[in-house]
C-alpha cells in the first residue's frame, strides 16, 4: 500500500496540472476571440482605430504564448473624405470604386461614383445637343421665312414695275392717237359738192382747200383754192 501511494499522488498532480493548463489555454483563446470581435465592431462603427485593436490582439497573443495573429485589416474607405473636389474630372480611386469630381446640375463640383458621374455628364451633354439642334432648327426656319418674304417682296415689286410700264405704254398710245386725230382733219367725200362755202359749212362740212385730199380744180370755179363757192 505504501509503495503505490506516491505513484497515485504523482498521477493526480499531473492530471490536475494538465487540467489547469487546459483551462488557462481555453481562457486565453476566449480572450483573444473576444478582443478581436470587439475591435472589429468598433472599427465598423468608426470607433477605436485598427492600431489599438491590433495592439490588443498582439498583447493577448503574447500572454497566451501563441504566435502573433494577423492584424485586423483597416476598412476600405467608400468615398473621398480628405481630398477636395476643386478640379472637374479629377479622380480618386477607392477600390473597387472610382470617384470623379463632377459638376452637378446646380453647378457645384461634387465627388460622384464613376457610373453616377457618367449619367450626369451624359444627361448634360444630351440636353446641350438638344438645345443646339433646336437653335439650329429655329435659325434655319427663320432664314427660310426671311427668304420667302424677300422673294415675295421682289415678286410684288416686279409686278408693280410691270404694271407701271404697261400703264405708261397705254397712256402714251392714247396720247399718240389723240395727236394723230388732231393732225389729220376729216375731209368730206369728194363726190359731194356744195354750191357755196356757206352751204358746206351749214352741212357740217369744211371747204376743201387746194392740196387736201378730194380737192378738184373743177369745183374751184373762181380759182381761189377753195373747192366751194
Q: Is the preceding omega at residue 96 within 30 degrees of 0, hence cis?
A: yes
Burial 27-60 (b: 16+ CB within 10 A, else e): ebeebbeebbeebeebbeeeeeebeebbebbeeb
Q: Are 48 and 39 in contact (CB under 8 A)?
A: yes
User: Angle at the Cα of 94 (from 117 to 38), degrees rounded to 5?
Assistant: 130
Q: Are 200 and 228 in contact (CB under 8 A)?
A: yes
Q: Are 76 and 94 in contact (CB under 8 A)?
A: yes
Give alpha helix (H) positions in 65-196: 114-183
Q: What is the DSSP letter of 153?
A: H
Is the predicted pLDDT of residue 1 greater than 60, yes or no?
Answer: no
DSSP notation for 6-72? HHHHHHHHHHHHHHHHHHHHHHHHHHHHHHHHHHHHHHHTT-S-HHHHHHHHHHHHHHHT-PPPPPP
Strands 109-113 and 91-94: unpaired
Q: Decide: pTM greater than 0.75.
A: no
The pLDDT of residue 50 is 39
The pLDDT of residue 94 is 87
The pLDDT of residue 185 is 54
The pLDDT of residue 200 is 73
Is the predicted pLDDT of residue 191 greater than 70, yes or no?
Answer: no
Selection from 75-79, 83-87, 198-202, 205-209 with the highest mean pLDDT: 83-87
Residue with cell 445637343: 129
Is the predicted pLDDT of residue 125 greater than 50, yes or no?
Answer: yes
Is the predicted pLDDT of residue 90 greater than 50, yes or no?
Answer: yes
The pLDDT of residue 146 is 95
Q: What is the pLDDT of residues 19-70, one digit of tens each?
A: 666 666 666 656 665 666 555 554 444 443 434 344 444 444 444 444 555 6
Q: What is the pLDDT of residues 145-185, one digit of tens each?
A: 999 999 999 999 999 999 999 999 999 998 888 887 775 55
**C-alpha cell, 19:** 487540467
**Helix 5-44 × helix 50-64 angle, to 10°:** 170
Amino acid at each position: 500500500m505504501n509503495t503505490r501511494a506516491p505513484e497515485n499522488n504523482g498521477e493526480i498532480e499531473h492530471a490536475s496540472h494538465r487540467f489547469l493548463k487546459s483551462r488557462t489555454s481555453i481562457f486565453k483563446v476566449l480572450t483573444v476571440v473576444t478582443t478581436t470581435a470587439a475591435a472589429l465592431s468598433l472599427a465598423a462603427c468608426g470607433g477605436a482605430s485598427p492600431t489599438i485593436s491590433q495592439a490588443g490582439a498582439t498583447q493577448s497573443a503574447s500572454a497566451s504564448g501563441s504566435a502573433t495573429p494577423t492584424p485586423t485589416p483597416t476598412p476600405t474607405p467608400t468615398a473621398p473624405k480628405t481630398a477636395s473636389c476643386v478640379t472637374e474630372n479629377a479622380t480618386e480611386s477607392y477600390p473597387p470604386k472610382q470617384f470623379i469630381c463632377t459638376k452637378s446640375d446646380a453647378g457645384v463640383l461634387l465627388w460622384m461614383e464613376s457610373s453616377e458621374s457618367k449619367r450626369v455628364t451624359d444627361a448634360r451633354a444630351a440636353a446641350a445637343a438638344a438645345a443646339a439642334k433646336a437653335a439650329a432648327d429655329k435659325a434655319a426656319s427663320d432664314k427660310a421665312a426671311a427668304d420667302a418674304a424677300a422673294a415675295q417682296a421682289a415678286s410684288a415689286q416686279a409686278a408693280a414695275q410691270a404694271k407701271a410700264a404697261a400703264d405708261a405704254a397705254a397712256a402714251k398710245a392714247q396720247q399718240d392717237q389723240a395727236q394723230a386725230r388732231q393732225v389729220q382733219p376729216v375731209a368730206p367725200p369728194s363726190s359731194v359738192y356744195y354750191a357755196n362755202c356757206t352751204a358746206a359749212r351749214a352741212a357740217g362740212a369744211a371747204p376743201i382747200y387746194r392740196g387736201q385730199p378730194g380737192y378738184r380744180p373743177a369745183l374751184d370755179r373762181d380759182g381761189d383754192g377753195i373747192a366751194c363757192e
